[in-house]
Amino acid sequence: RAGYVAIVGRPNVGKSTLMNHMLGQKLSITSRKPQTTRHRIHGILSNEEMQAVFVDTPGIHSNEVRLINERMNKAAFSALVDVDLVLFVVDGEQWREDDLLTLEKIGETDTPVVLVINKADTIKDKGSILPLIETYHENFEFADIVPVSALKNQNLERLQQVIRSHL
Ligand code: GDP
Ligand code: MG
């Protein structure tokens, strides 16, 4: 049986890039514009070691005033139901309050959550992420915490190991 892995996080943190690079092919749509991924896109990673079905979600927006955002939020959260693992992706250089809001929502499910700190290649002061990790960890118990660079393919093998261990 293949495991289901949902990729969630606010727009532009690199969710589509992460999925594409783990699959090694261009499946999802990446763009600077936050709302490109309107629908869930599934990708399948299949090798001798694991079979994982990735669900790339639209970004979760804290501004629920705009209807489009609300609809996208619903699509994103519905993706969390019936998955085996959630990859909660943040931008290592730009953690924001939106991220914590998203996390609160994720916390309403029982699914294990891996904190993926993406764009590690852009983090100038590596030490600065330690207090952030602490703050997050105070609010939430992560199954694992993995720093990666989706764009530069850094530490993606480690992330795949972690994913495999939860499927
Ligand atoms: P999504 O909205 O979360 O799906 O984000 P995308 O995958 O569309 O990426 C948003 C932008 O961030 C794009 O310009 C990507 O090239 C860039 N990006 C994604 N991952 C990384 C990374 O690891 N490092 C850097 N420097 N940029 C990244
Ligand atoms: Mg996307």
User: Domain of 143: which CATH number?
Assistant: 3.40.50.300
Q: Is residue 138 within 8 Å of 28, Cβ to Cβ? A: no
- The residue type of 11 is P
Q: How does pLDDT run across 34-73, given as a tens digit for each residue?
A: 544 444 657 888 878 888 888 776 555 555 444 555 665 6
Task: Establish whether residue 149 lines the binding site of ligand 1, counting it when its CB lies within 6 angstroms of any ligand atom.
Answer: yes
Q: What residue numbers bound the domain in which 82 lies?
A: 3-165
Domain count, the chain: 1
Give the mutation target among 116, 151, 152 for probing the ligand 1 site: most ligand atoms within 8 A of CB.
Answer: 151
Q: Is 57 annotated as a binding residue?
A: yes
Q: What does pTM read for this prediction?
A: 0.84
Task: Establish whether residue 12 lines the binding site of ligand 1, counting it when its CB lies within 6 angstroms of any ligand atom.
Answer: yes
Ligand 1 centre and the CA of 45: distance in Å?
A: 20
Please state, in angstroms and rounded to a whole number, the distance separating the CA atoms of residues 161 and 165.
6
**Complex ipTM over 0.95:** yes
**Which residues, in sequence order, are bridge partners of residue 154?**
149
Residues 6+ apart with CB under 8 A from 76: 8, 57, 58, 59, 60
Taking 3-state DSSP, the helix, strand and coil percentages for the chain, each rounded to the nearest 5, stand at 35, 20, 45
